Chains A and B, each alone.
Chain A
C-alpha cells in the first residue's frame, strides 16, 4: 500500500457512491436524512400526544400482596397478574424483592427461584393428568421435518459447538425432580417401617 490510510489524514480517502447514485439504487434512500423527520429525534419530546386523559391512572385492585421493587415509591397503578408467587420458588422470589435492583443478590436469587420453580412444576405435573412431556414440550420433533443436518453442518455456523448443552439444561430439572422423589420415597418408607420394631 502506497497511499496513507484514512485515519492518518484529514478526510476519508475512498469516495463512496454519490447521493444520486444511492437514491437511484435504494428505494427511499435519504428519506429521513433530516433528523427532524426521525420520530425519535430529539430523544425527549415534552408534551407529546399519547391518548392519555388522566394525570395519574386509576389504580387496578391488588388481589394479593404484589411483589415490587424497593426502588418504587409505591405500588404502580397497573401491573401484570400472571402467575402469583407460590411454593418454595415463591418464597425465594419474595425474599429477592427485599434487595434493590442495584444488588446482584436480587437478580441471582430470582434466577435461582426460576430453576426451583421449574423443578417444582415438573414434580407437580407428574401427579396430574397432564404431566410434562419433554419430547413435545421441547419441540424436538420439528427436527425430523426441518433439515436438522443441513441446517447445522457445512454452514460455518458458530453456535453448533454449544447446542449439545441444550438437552442437559432441559434434563437438569428432571434429574433434580427424580432425586427429590427418590429422597421423599426413602423417607416415607423409613417412617412406615420404623415405628413397629
Chain B
C-alpha cells in the first residue's frame, strides 16, 4: 500500500509499505478514504515530540471502510463505512470506564502519562496512522462508529478530532451564561472552540491570532470579535482594556507548543527543543483571564518542562483544566448539533491534497501558505 512516512524533521515522503495485519482479536483494518493533517502533526513534523521514529506513518484523523476484522469484533463488519476517533483506547481500564478515553492505560507501553493516538510517535503508543491507504484500528468494538447516512464524509473527518476537540475545549472552560471567552489560536481547534463557546451560552467571544486570514474566518465562521496580537504592543493589556480591566471569565489555549509572539520562547522550544513547548499563548491566557477564572488548555505541549508562569495562576486563584479530547464521548451530542445546523464542521476545509502529494501539504500547512486552514488528505493518485 502507499503510506506517508516521516524521514526526519520537515521531511516526509510516500512509500510502499505492507498492508497492516490484524495483531489482536479486536483489531480491524480500515481502508482510508479521507484523512487530514492536524496542527498536532506539525509538532511531529518539526521534530518536537520525543520518540518520533523515521519510518512512522502519521495521521490520526481519518474515515474509511472496514477491510478486515479480528475474530472477536462484533460492532463493525467488513464493508462498513466508519469514522475513527483519534484516540486508541480499550474501553475497560480504570480511565476508560469513567469516560476518560484519551487517558487509556491499556494501549500505550511507552508512557503512562499519555493515552494512545494513531500515528503520533512512540510516546503515544507507536501506532502507525491513517495518512495511508490502510490502517490498523485496535479495539474496533470500542473506537470506531459507522458514519450515519445523513452525514457528509468531510464532516465525518472533522469529527474525528478538530471539531470535538474545540467543543471539548469550550466545555473545559465551564462557561456560564454571559461569560466573556477569549480563544487563543484561530486554527481548526480554536475556530471550533470559539463556535462552541456560543453553544454553552457565552456573551462575548474573542479570538486572537496573528494570521489575518484565519481571524477573518473566526469572524465569519465563529461570529467572533478578533484581535491580531501583532498589532498590539501588549495583547494582555489590550484584552484587559477590552474587558473593562476585569479580564476574560474564560480563556482557551488552542495554540499549544509552537506558539509565536516571543522569539526566545518560540526558538528555544520549536527549533532548539529545549522546552516541551513554547508557552506564550498559555502565559497570555493566565495573564488575561480574570482572577478566579478558568483557563482551558487544549493546545498540546510536549512532555519536557515548559516555562509556564505558574505563580500568576496560583495568585489569581485560577482553575486550569486540560486534556486530550475523549472524542467519542462528544459524538452523540455533536451529531445533534451538526444535524440541527448549529455547526458545519467541513466549513473550515481549505485544501484537499492527494496522498501522493502529502509532502507539499505538510510544507504548506507548516508555513501557512495559500490561506490554508484545514488540509484534507484524499485517497488515490491524481
Contacts and interface: CB of A to CB of B under 8 A. Distances in A.
A31 B337 contact: yes
Given A51-B142, A111-B273, A169-B10, A142 B369 contact: yes
A31 B210 CA distance: 30
Contacts of A93: 51, 122
B308 interface: no
A165 B46 CA distance: 12
Contacts of B261: 158
Interface string A150-180: 0110011111011101100110110000000
Interface in B314-372: 326, 329-330, 332-334, 337, 340-343, 359-364, 367-371
Interface string A67-110: 11101100111111111000001000100110001001001101
Given A28-B343, A165-B267, A110 B51 contact: yes
Interface size class of B (residues with CB under 8 A): 35 or more
Contact of B363 (A66, A96, A107, A139): A139
A159 B97 contact: no
A71 B110 CA distance: 9
B66 interface: no
A141 B177 CA distance: 49
Contacts of A2: none
Given A57-B139, A83-B56, A156 B24 contact: no
Contact of B128 (A13, A44, A46, A80): A80
A137 interface: yes
B159 interface: no
B25 interface: yes
A142 B24 CA distance: 40
A195 interface: no
Contact of B271 (A68, A118, A169): A169
Given A28-B198, A79-B125, A83-B54, A16 B204 contact: yes
Contacts of A44: 98-100
Contact of A118 (B7, B96, B168, B341): B7
A163 B111 contact: no
B319 to A, nearest CB: 12
Interface size class of A (residues with CB under 8 A): 35 or more
Given A52-B90, A165-B271, A151 B368 contact: yes
A60 to B, nearest CB: 4
Given A7-B246, A32-B333, A118-B7, A139 B359 contact: yes
B237 interface: no
Interface stretch (B28-36, B101-109, B148-156, B185-193): B101-109
B238 interface: no
B374 to A, nearest CB: 15
B363 A140 contact: yes
Contact of B305 (A57, A104, A132): A104
Contacts of B57: 82
B13 A137 contact: yes
Contacts of A104: 304-305
Contacts of B231: 156
B230 interface: yes
Interface string A10-25: 0011101101001001
Contact of A7 (B8, B72, B245): B245
A37 interface: yes
Contacts of A159: 210, 260, 266, 368
A53 interface: yes
A111 B9 contact: no
B7, B12, B142, B243 interface centre (most CB from chain A within 10 Å): B7
7 contacts: A67-B109, A79-B108, A80-B128, A114-B52, A137-B11, A138-B10, A170-B8
Interface of A: 5-7, 12-14, 16-17, 19, 22, 25-33, 35, 37-41, 43-48, 50-58, 60-61, 66-69, 71-72, 75-83, 89, 93, 96-97, 101, 104, 107-108, 110-111, 113-115, 117-122, 130, 132-134, 136-143, 146-148, 151-152, 155-159, 161-163, 165-166, 169-170, 172-173
Per CB-CB distance, the 4 closest pairs between chain A and chain B, nearest first, are A28-B342, A118-B8, A139-B363, A52-B91
